[in-house]
Every structure is written in C-alpha cells, then in structure tokens.
Amino acid sequence: MIKIVTDSTAYLPEEIIRQHDITVVPLYVHFGTEAFREGVELSNEEFYRRLKEAAELPTTSQPSAGEFHSVFAPLVDAGHEVITLTISSKISGTWNSAMAAKEMLPGAPISVVDSLSTSVGLHLMVDAAAEAAAAGATRQEIVDQLEEIKQKMQIFFVVDTLEYLAKGGRIGNGKAFLGTLLKVKPILVLQEGAIEPLEQVRSKRKATARMLELVEEHVHSNGDTAKLAITNALVPDEAEAVSQELMGRLGCEAPLMGDLGPVIGTHTGPGCVGIATYL
C-alpha cells in the first residue's frame, strides 16, 4: 500500500488526515529559546496572540532527517511504499531533511517530492496524491502526476504588510516593494517555489478583487474544472467572501478552505488571504 507523508505547512484538516491515513511531520516555530512543533504544541490562536505581543519576530525551522527517518522506517518495515510531499525547497530545508532520511534507507520504496509550494498549494497536491493512491495508481504514476500539477499550480496571496516577509528573509525580489511598505497592499505569487512580487494595490479590498481577476484569467473558460483552495490568517470572513465570489464567477465547486498556521503565519503575518489553483 502507498502511504502519503507531508509536512505541517499543508495545514490539512483532521478529517482528511484520518480519511487517507496521512502522516504529518511538523516544522518548528521558535519564540526566543522556546521551540514549538507546529500543530502539536502551539495552536493557531495562541501563536497569533504571541506574535502580536512578541518584541521580536519568531523564527522557524525544518524537522530533522531523524524525524523523517522515524516516520519512514516503520512504514517501510510494514511493507508500504511512501510518497512524501514537502514545502518548497526554496523557502525551507524540509525537503533536504526528507531526502537525507530517504538516503538512510537505501533501496527503500520512498519518493520525495519538492512541491515548490506550501499551504493550500501543498494541500491540493497532497489531496491529489491521496486520491490517486486510493484509486490504485502506482507510486511512479502518482509522482509523475504531482510533477505535472507542480508545473500548473498558481498561488496568489495578499498580505496586509510586507514587514513579516522582509524580517523573515522570505521576500525574494519583493524587496523592491519595501519603499512603499506602508502605502500598498501587495499581491505576491509563489513562483518556481519562491515568493515574488506581482502588483501593488492601494487597498486590501482592491488587492483581493485584483487577485480574483488573476485567478479568473489563469483558468480562462475552464473554471468549472479548476482545482481551487483558499487560505487565510485570522480573516475567515474575507476567505469565505472570496470563496463565494469564485464559485459565482467560475461555476466551480466550493474550494478547499484552510487556515495559515504558525510557520507560514510567521512570514505573512495576520490578515493574509491566498488562493491556489491548477487545471
């Protein structure tokens, strides 16, 4: 049987984890000398409260190779094949840890896929892998499918401020926006696994409206077949409004919904809304 392993930045709902028996390896958030495993030792509510009150921004780190090995070894010993999907290697060392763990088990039937994504983009890819495995696809067939999805995936997101991305060093070429940091609501994309600036808009409302236009342009007339997911950081009403608007415009099914947890929330800050889609 094929087992799916991913990391905590996919922010999967518990029912999906249980339904497909997915193993989630947590990343870490550090407030000073305190380290917390995401999704295990720190809730979203507690994280954002601490983020607001913190004198210094928290930092984040990947799981160790040993932590992946402790997941892989029992699965392989039980006779399973393993497909692991990780957060983009351009913004985290998690893929490197998973690869190192795979090398500790030479010859084991383990595939490690760098999603070049995270959050709802990673969520969509995990969903696709789990559904394909349940339908009887082989490990190589699933990996090939994931590589195709990776090339088609588009992730747009709006943040209230670039402050968190800038301080966390995850902003890429978005540094060009920093001069107008307080004056605009930037639209960013996850492009080839890295965060890049796309456009500057004068208000959150206009930025969200423009993001919806970009999604609509991306799916063209195929909106009813597009795979879509929406995430947010402490603005669920905005996410729900985006979902309703997408269904109205595209004629699609209700998008998957998710919340940004501590690791990605450290870099976006509260107020972020994002959309992932592929055809």
Residue 169 pLDDT = 55
What are the structure tokens assigned to 43, written together?
């809730």
Place of tokens 């995936």: 153
Residues facing residue 229 across a β-bridge: 256, 276
Residue 176 pLDDT = 47
Residue 35 pLDDT = 96
Residue 179 pLDDT = 44
The sign of the torsion formed by the CA atoms of 230, 242, 154, 204 equals negative
Alpha-carbon span 241 to 254, nearest angstrom: 12
Boundaries of every domain in the chain: 2-27+62-151, 154-278
Residue 182 pLDDT = 54
Tell me if 159 sits within 8 A of 134, measured CB to CB: no
Taking Cα atoms as reference points, which of 227, 176, 165 lies closest to residue 198? 176
Tell me if 216 sits within 8 A of 225, measured CB to CB: no
Low-confidence spans in the chain with pLDDT less than 50: 173-174, 176, 178-180
Q: What is the pLDDT of residues 21-65, one digit of tens each?
A: 999 999 999 999 999 999 999 999 999 999 988 888 899 999 999
What are the structure tokens assigned to 167, written together?
């301080």
The CATH number fitting domain 2-27+62-151, selected from 3.30.360.10, 3.30.200.20, 3.40.50.10440, 3.30.450.70: 3.40.50.10440
- 3-class secondary-structure state, position 222: coil
- Architecture of the domain delimited by 154-278: 2-Layer Sandwich (3.30)
Tell me if 226 sits within 8 A of 252, measured CB to CB: yes
Beta-strand pair 273-278/227-232:
antiparallel
